[in-house]
Chain A
Amino acid sequence: DTEVTQTPKHLVMGMTNKKSLKCEQHMGHRAMYWYKQKAKKPPELMFVYSYEKLSINESVPSRFSPECPNSSLLNLHLHALQPEDSALYLCASSPEGTGELFFGEGSRLTVL
């Protein structure tokens, strides 16, 4: 079982809804990530929090908003999404000083 926990596992939302995806890790990792994965494609980086400092993939639209309440928690706030935003959203964390990345099971999002 992964030590990165994501909720909810499935989410269906309309284009006018506001929802949030949540991620939690208790491995003491200081870097946490949000990735988006479409079918038969590799994950694409959206956001990185390293020591609670945010780095953004400039191509990610502003309708996605990350939040890092503390070093163990990571949220992704969703507002006014489009059907093409339907995908598997993956949270990951990484220990300091190594290249390893540990993923959660993902939240499957469907935008109607």
Chain B
Amino acid sequence: QKEVEQDPGPLSVPEGAIVSLNCTYSNSAFQYFMWYRQYSRKGPELLMYTYSSGNKEDGRFTAQVDKSSKYISLFIRDSQPSDSATYLCAMRAKAGNMLTFGGGTRLMVKP
């Protein structure tokens, strides 16, 4: 079993839909949680960063962390075709530790 599980997709939604992307993990020591967006042939771009549990909102993006369930989510409201990309969750136990990535979910938002 992988340490971080993420549905690979592809996830196809119409423009304007609410998108929910999720990761589950097994290591209870993880406390730094990140979501990256990666366009084809580009480097990953940090979208959301959360320390420990709770919610964080930034524009159309909301990140949720539920440490009791070892489950994190990224919600995208009013999705746009420009949101079409691969979304990677990532997490680590301490600031200096290795980052553990999920496998990535490919999202397609159709006009």
Contact = CB atoms under 8 A, between A and B. Distances in A.
Interface in B21-52: 31-34, 36, 41-46, 49, 51
A97 B95 contact: yes
Contact of A96 (B36, B44, B95, B101): B95
Nearest to A102: B46
Contacts of B96: 31, 50
B89 to A, nearest CB: 9
**Which of the four size classes fits the interface of chain A?**
20 to 34
Interface residues of B, number: 26
Nearest to B32: A99
A42 interface: yes
B99 A45 contact: yes
Contact of B99 (A2, A40, A97, A101): A101
A66 interface: no
Contact of B34 (A96, A100, A105): A100
B32 A43 contact: no
Contacts of A43: 44, 101
A108 B88 contact: no
Contacts of B36: 103
Interface string B71-109: 000000000000000001011101110110111100000
Interface in A52-94: 88, 90, 94
Contacts of B95: 94, 96-99
Contacts of B41: 88, 106, 108
8 contacts: A4-B43, A41-B104, A99-B51, A101-B34, A103-B43, A105-B42, A106-B43, A108-B41
Interface of B: 31-34, 36, 41-46, 49, 51, 88, 90-92, 94-96, 98-99, 101-104
> 9 closest pairs, A vs B, by CB?
A99-B32, A42-B101, A103-B43, A106-B43, A105-B43, A103-B44, A100-B49, A99-B95, A104-B43
